[in-house]
Amino acid sequence: MTLAAAILGRLAKAAITLLLIVILNFFLIHAAPGDPAMVMAGEAGAADEQFIQQLREQFGLDQPLYVQFWNYVSGVLQLDLGYSYRQQMPVLELILDRLPATLLLTLTAFCMSLLLGIAFGLAAAARQGKMGDSAITSMALLFYATPLFWVALMAVVLFSVKLGWFPAFGYETVGAGYTGLDLVLDRLKHLFLPALTLGLFFMAVYLRMTRSSVLEVSQMDFVKTARAKGLGEGTIRRRHILRNALLPVVTLAGLQAGQLVGGAVLTETVFAWPGIGRLMFESLTARDYNTLLGVFLVSAAMVIAFNIITDIVYRLIDPRI
């Protein structure tokens, strides 16, 4: 099967998967306790039954569930994700406004965790059984076992409050009026702590996977044959060990890339990062069904896209697949 045919097949499966996700999410969200009209009425300071009924009629919440379902699915097929009760704007417009911040955070954290994980994993494998190996794997276990929100809070206390090296919260300095390179540098300073916090957990996973994969491949027959032929150790590590050892790491990275969005909920909330993770949390507390469904759909689409990209990268690393 050619690469183009494989991609088309995956896209067709992705479309079916997204449709099933839309259906499942709709019924799961509406099965959850809580009434959006009651929440909106409480925020407005009016909880009389007439006002609540007006809110239900205004947002279509008084209609039967199957009617709401049909309206939602038909809207999604037309790229209309509905209207946000809380934000008073179209959901798609709201998500597109927040999505760049989340993509910046998650992609930076992903690249950081993958590069550091592979580098430290190679270093640990090269020092198998020595003090350096124990120190690196212990560090990985520490970051893997520590709750993400606690790491975020400690990073704020250390690097922002104590040392003052990086800003604690936000996407950029409010009211600074930076432009050009100054604006880029300001955003990078705000990005560093949340990206590092989110990336450390996944770095630990890639580190341990890289180490074990390199040690396993190093004992295979084709590596012993390469050494017997007199190839240099650097060539063997680069062309034979590393290339084959990266296959399971790439697979794991593709599967976990979408999970970064889930981790971004905690990270964005702690660091007040204006992405869809924080939007998801705000929508959950406000029972904003349409926004929640929209965020879930976009998150699912990102997971599927990461998996398709992983398949492509996998074929490039090993053309036999």
Per-run averaged pLDDT (10 residues), the chain, 321 residues: 72 83 79 61 57 63 74 79 77 85 85 85 80 82 79 82 80 72 81 84 82 77 71 68 74 71 73 80 75 82 78 68 60
The pLDDT value given to residue 208: 82
Same-domain check for residues 69 and 120: no
Q: Which of 49, 65, 91 is the last residue of a domain?
A: 91
Same-domain check for residues 44 and 188: no
The pLDDT value given to residue 92: 85
Which token pair is 54? Answer: 């007006």
Same-domain check for residues 244 and 167: yes
The pLDDT value given to residue 58: 61
The pLDDT value given to residue 89: 81
Same-domain check for residues 208 and 289: yes
Q: Which of 91, 106, 123 is the last residue of a domain?
A: 91
Q: Yes or no: say if 113 and 199 are a contact pair by the CB < 8 Å rule.
A: yes
How many independent structural domains does the chain possess? 2
The DSSP secondary-structure symbol of 177 reads -
The pLDDT value given to residue 43: 53
The pLDDT value given to residue 317: 64
The pLDDT value given to residue 198: 82
User: Which residues form the domain of 61?
Assistant: 3-91
The pLDDT value given to residue 25: 79
The pLDDT value given to residue 48: 59
The pLDDT value given to residue 55: 61
Whichever domain contains 138, its CATH number is 1.10.3720.10
Q: Which of 61, 91, 121 is the last residue of a domain?
A: 91
Instruction: Read off the pTM.
Output: 0.74
The pLDDT value given to residue 273: 79
Same-domain check for residues 121 and 242: yes
Same-domain check for residues 163 and 78: no
The pLDDT value given to residue 75: 77
The pLDDT value given to residue 245: 75
Same-domain check for residues 112 and 60: no
The pLDDT value given to residue 54: 64
Phi, psi dihedral angles at 83 (to 5 degrees): -125, 135
Burial zone of 48 (CB within 10 Å; 0-12 exposed, 13-18 middle, 19+ buried): exposed
Residues 38 and 56: their CA atoms lie apart, in Å, by: 9
